[in-house]
Amino acid sequence: MEPERGPAAAGARPDLGGLLRAVLASRGRANSVFDILAVLQSEDPEEIQEAVRTCGRLFGALLERRELFVGQLPPEDTVRAGTQGAVCKYKVWMRHRYHSCCNRLQELLAHPAFQVKEQALRVLMTFVQLEGAQPLEKAQWEGHYLFPHSLFRVVVGGLLSSEEDQSLLISQFCQYLEHDDIRYHTMQAAAATTAKVTTQQPEASLTFWNNAFTLLSAVSLPSQDGEVTSFYVKHTELSNKWKVTHLKEHRKAFQAMWLCFLKHKLPLSLYKKVLLVMHDSILPHLAQPTLMIDFLTSACDVGGAISLLALNGLFILIHKHNLEYPDFYRKLYGLLDPSIFHVKYRARFFHLADLFLSSSHLPAYLVAAFAKRLAHLALTAPPEALLMVLPFICNLLRRHPACRVLVHRPQGLELDADPYDPMEEDPAKSQALESCLWELQTLQQHYHPEVSKAASVINQVLSVPEVSIAPLLELTAYEIFERDLKKKGPESVPLEFIPAQGLLGRQDDLCAQLFTLS
Partner 1 sequence: ARARALRKRTQTLLKEYKERDKSNVFTDKRFGEYNSNISPEEKMMKRFALEQQRQHEKKNIYNLNEDEELTHYGQSLADIEKHNDIVDSDSDAEERGALSAELTAAHFGGGPQLLDRKTTQDGEEENKPKSRKELIEELIAKSKQEKRERQAQREDALELTEKLDQDWKEIQTLLSHKTPKSEKREKKEKPKPDTYDMMVRELGFEMKAQPSNRMKTEEELAKEEQERLKKLEAERLRRMLAKDEDENVKKPKHISADDLNDGFILDKDDRHMLSYKDGKMNIEENVQEEQSREAGGRDSEEEEDQDESSEDEGEGERGEAHTESDGADSHADLESDRESDGEDEKPEEEQQQPPGKRLTRDHQKTRKAASSELPYTFAAPESYEELRALLSGRSAAEQLLVVERIQKCNHPSLAAGNKAKLEKLFGFLLEYIGDLAMNDPPDLQVIDKLVVQLYNLCQMFPETASDSIKFVLRDAMHDMEEMLEAKGRTVFPGLDVLIYLKITGLLFPTSDFWHPVVTPALVCMSQLLTKCPVLTLPDVVKGLFVCCLFLDYVALSRRFIPELINFLLGILYIATPNKQSQGFTPVHPFRALAKNSELLLVSDTAAAAAWQGGGLSLRWASGHSALPLAEANHARLSCVAVCLALLRRCVLLYSPLPSFRAISRPLRVLLTEHLAGSGHPPQLQELSRSILAEMETQKQLYRPLVCEKSKPVPLKLFTPRLVKVLEFGRKQGSSREEQDRRRLVHRHKREFKGAVREIRKDNQFLARMQLSEMMERDAERKRKVKQLFNSLATQEGEWKALKRKKFKK
Restricting to residues 27-56, name those near partner 1 by CB under 8 A. none
CB 124 within 8 A of CB 107: no
Q: In whole angstroms, give the CA distance from residue 345 to residue 193.
A: 33
Residue 9 phi/psi, 5-degree rounding, is: -50, -40
Q: Does 408 bind partner 1 (CB under 8 A)?
A: yes
- Listed in sequence order, the residues at least 6 apart from 391 whose beta carbon sits closer than 8 Å to its beta carbon are 454, 467, 469, 472
DSSP state, residue 247? H
- Considering only residues 457 through 476, tell me which ones interact with partner 1, judged by CB under 8 A: 458-461, 476
Q: Does 389 bind partner 1 (CB under 8 A)?
A: no
Name the residue nearer to partner 1 (CB basis): 114 or 515: 515
- As measured in angstroms, the least distance from the Cβ of 199 to partner 1 is 36
Name the residue nearer to partner 1 (CB basis): 240 or 445: 445
- Considering only residues 288 through 347, tell me which ones interact with partner 1, judged by CB under 8 A: 337-339, 341-342, 344
Q: Does 72 bind partner 1 (CB under 8 A)?
A: no
Taking CB under 8 A as the criterion, the residue among 442, 464, 467, 474 binding partner 1 is: 442
C-alpha pair distances (Å), 257 with each of 56, 175, 185, 222, 444: 31, 20, 11, 16, 53
Q: In whole angstroms, give the CA distance from residue 83 to residue 79.
A: 7
CB 116 within 8 A of CB 60: no
Q: Does 240 bind partner 1 (CB under 8 A)?
A: no
User: Given the rule CB under 8 A, which of 72-80, 244-252, 256-264, 488-496 is the region that contacts partner 1?
Assistant: 488-496
User: Given the rule CB under 8 A, which of 117-125, 128-136, 295-303, 503-511 is the region that contacts partner 1?
Assistant: 503-511
Q: Mapping DSSP to helix (H, G, I), strand (E, B) and coil, where does residue 476 land? A: coil
Name the residue nearer to partner 1 (CB basis): 26 or 411: 411
Helix (H) or strand (E) holding 395: helix 383-399
DSSP H helices in 233-382 = 247-262, 268-277, 293-302, 304-321, 328-335, 346-356, 364-378
Angle formed by the axes of helices 114-133 and 45-64, to 10°?
Answer: 0
Taking CB under 8 A as the criterion, the residue among 165, 301, 425, 484 binding partner 1 is: 484
Q: Does 268 bind partner 1 (CB under 8 A)?
A: no
- Listed in sequence order, the residues at least 6 apart from 301 whose beta carbon sits closer than 8 Å to its beta carbon are 307
- As measured in angstroms, the least distance from the Cβ of 76 to partner 1 is 56
Taking CB under 8 A as the criterion, the residue among 11, 112, 471, 490 binding partner 1 is: 490
CB 181 within 8 A of CB 246: no
Q: Does 269 bind partner 1 (CB under 8 A)?
A: no
Q: Does 348 bind partner 1 (CB under 8 A)?
A: no
Name the residue nearer to partner 1 (CB basis): 11 or 490: 490
Taking CB under 8 A as the criterion, the residue among 137, 452, 467, 473 binding partner 1 is: 452
- As measured in angstroms, the least distance from the Cβ of 387 to partner 1 is 11
- As measured in angstroms, the least distance from the Cβ of 47 to partner 1 is 39
Q: Which amino acid type is present at position 106?
A: Q
Q: Does 383 bind partner 1 (CB under 8 A)?
A: yes
Q: Does 141 bind partner 1 (CB under 8 A)?
A: no
